[in-house]
Amino acid sequence: MNVTLNLTPELGHRLQRAAQHHGVSADAYTLQLLDRHLPCDGQASDLVSLLQSWIDGEDDAGEQRETGEHLVRALDEDRLSGRPLFPTGHKGVTW
């Protein structure tokens, strides 16, 4: 497929500079940009299905709670000081 684009002079300069920076022609760089940013066939529907499964998820609350507890433990374990960032005595009060 052939495509003709009418670029502003500023956008044309930006495209030319970026193509030179990557060591390719402006045409080749434009093709790389399109390939990188346009969804593949079926990719959009796969993403929609994934998002819908997250919305419809029944175990979502339990999974979020488990992830939050893991995050709190990991943050407390990686602290340089001995003082926990999330003290268990304050759970439900301040966090």
Q: What is the pLDDT of residues 78-95, one digit of tens each?
A: 778 878 777 878 877 776
Tokens found for residue 52:
């819908």
* Cα distance from N-terminal residue to C-terminal residue, the chain: 57
Stronger pLDDT, 78 or 5, i.e. the higher one: 5
Residue 58: what pLDDT?
Answer: 62
Position 95, amino acid? W
Measured CA to CA, the distance from residue 68 to residue 63 in angstroms comes to 9
The tally of CA atoms less than 13 A away on the side-chain side of residue 55 is 6
Q: Are 26 and 16 in contact (CB under 8 A)?
A: yes
**Least confident residue range of 5-9, 28-32, 55-59, 84-88:** 55-59
Q: What is the DSSP letter of 89?
A: G
Tens digits of per-residue pLDDT, 50-68? 787 777 776 667 778 888 8
Domain residue spans in the chain? 1-40, 51-89
